[in-house]
């Protein structure tokens, strides 16, 4: 069987307990070497075959899985963060379906959660934003027209941008064109939860120069929205003394 496992955002101890156990039991591990922390491979048992998918095509990845299945071995396909975001897992699963090979998924901590932790940030502050838009700027992979950055910007909700660090001038232009004020707070989080993590608070307008001045070109997330400055927000109802909940009687 094949187990798609989320490796977490970087720090070795941010994989789930289940994910770590799967690594310990695997006969074969195929890990996304461009972003998965290789330190996680120390949990692999002796004799486990390890492949770095950064050097492989989809066909080569599948071939390794097929060969392992033939020997009734257990394969872990280790993806960065949570495999459900930009993980290219569907194309693997569809081929496995065709070949009647069973698989399942083990979630991981996505880097957008790691980035919030790095900034001690709450993406959903009452009265500021109650939604998080997870998207990317268009690069080699096209983004459907109806999902343009400008169209999302109209909502002025919290936005987290993956895979966009090399396209910051274009991003700024589209965010402003869509409706964010140029001085809207933004943050760049480089290698969230890794030892070399960096966080930089800036504004939409200064995204490109901030990244440039710190030499950040990849492995970063861009966070946009007023939650970054968290100056004005309402207290939660849940912990308001006057508010009655299922578990607690309010004072009024």
Residues that bind ligand SAH (CB under 6 A): 9-10, 35, 79-82, 85-87, 110-111, 114-115, 162-163, 189, 191-194, 218-221
Q: How far is the CB of 112 from ligand SAH (least distance, A)?
A: 6
Cα angle 132, 207, 213; round to 5? 140
Cα angle 80, 84, 89; round to 5? 80
DSSP 60: H
Query: Residue 71 is encoded by which pair of tokens?
Result: 């020997």
**For ligand SAH, the closer CB: 14 or 68:** 14
Q: How far is the CB of 47 from ligand SAH (least distance, A)?
A: 29
CA distance to 28, 37, 136, 214, 225, per residue, from 48 (Å)? 5, 17, 35, 39, 45
Give the list of residues 6+ apart from residue 87 with CB closer than 8 angstroms, or none. Answer: 4, 79, 80, 81
**For ligand SAH, the closer CB: 9 or 33:** 9
Q: How far is the CB of 234 from ligand SAH (least distance, A)?
A: 29
Closest-approach residue to ligand SAH (CB): 81
DSSP 81: B
**For ligand SAH, the closer CB: 145 or 196:** 196
**For ligand SAH, the closer CB: 55 or 247:** 55
Q: Which of 211, 86, 15 is nearest to 3 (CA)?
A: 15
Q: How far is the CB of 249 from ligand SAH (least distance, A)?
A: 40
Query: Residue 3 is encoded by which pair of tokens?
Result: 């187990």
Q: How far is the CB of 113 from ligand SAH (least distance, A)?
A: 8
**For ligand SAH, the closer CB: 51 or 194:** 194
């Amino acid at each position: 069987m094949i187990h798609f496992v989320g490796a977490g955002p970087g720090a070795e101890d941010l994989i789930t307990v289940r994910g770590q156990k799967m690594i310990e039991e695997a006969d074969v591990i195929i890990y996304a070497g461009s972003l998965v922390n290789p330190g996680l491979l120390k949990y692999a048992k002796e004799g486990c075959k390890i492949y770095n998918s950064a050097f492989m095509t989809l066909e080569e990845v599948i071939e390794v899985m097929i060969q392992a299945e033939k020997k009734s071995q257990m394969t872990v396909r280790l993806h960065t963060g949570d495999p459900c975001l930009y993980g290219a897992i569907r194309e693997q699963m569809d081929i496995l379906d065709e070949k009647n090979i069973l698989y399942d998924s083990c979630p991981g901590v996505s880097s957008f959660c790691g980035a919030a932790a790095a900034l001690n940030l709450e993406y959903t502050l009452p009265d500021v934003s109650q939604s998080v838009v997870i998207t990317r700027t268009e690069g080699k992979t096209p983004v459907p027209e109806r999902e343009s950055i400008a169209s999302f910007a109209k909502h002025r909700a919290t936005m987290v941008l993956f895979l966009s660090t090399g396209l910051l001038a274009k991003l700024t232009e589209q965010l402003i064109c869509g409706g964010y004020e140029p001085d809207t707070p933004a943050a760049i989080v480089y290698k969230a939860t890794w030892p070399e993590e960096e966080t930089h608070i800036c504004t939409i307008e200064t995204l490109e120069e901030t990244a440039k001045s710190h030499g950040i070109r990849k492995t970063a997330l861009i966070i946009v929205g007023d939650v970054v400055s968290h100056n004005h927000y309402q207290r939660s109802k849940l912990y308001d003394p006057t508010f009655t909940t299922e578990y607690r009687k309010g004072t009024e």
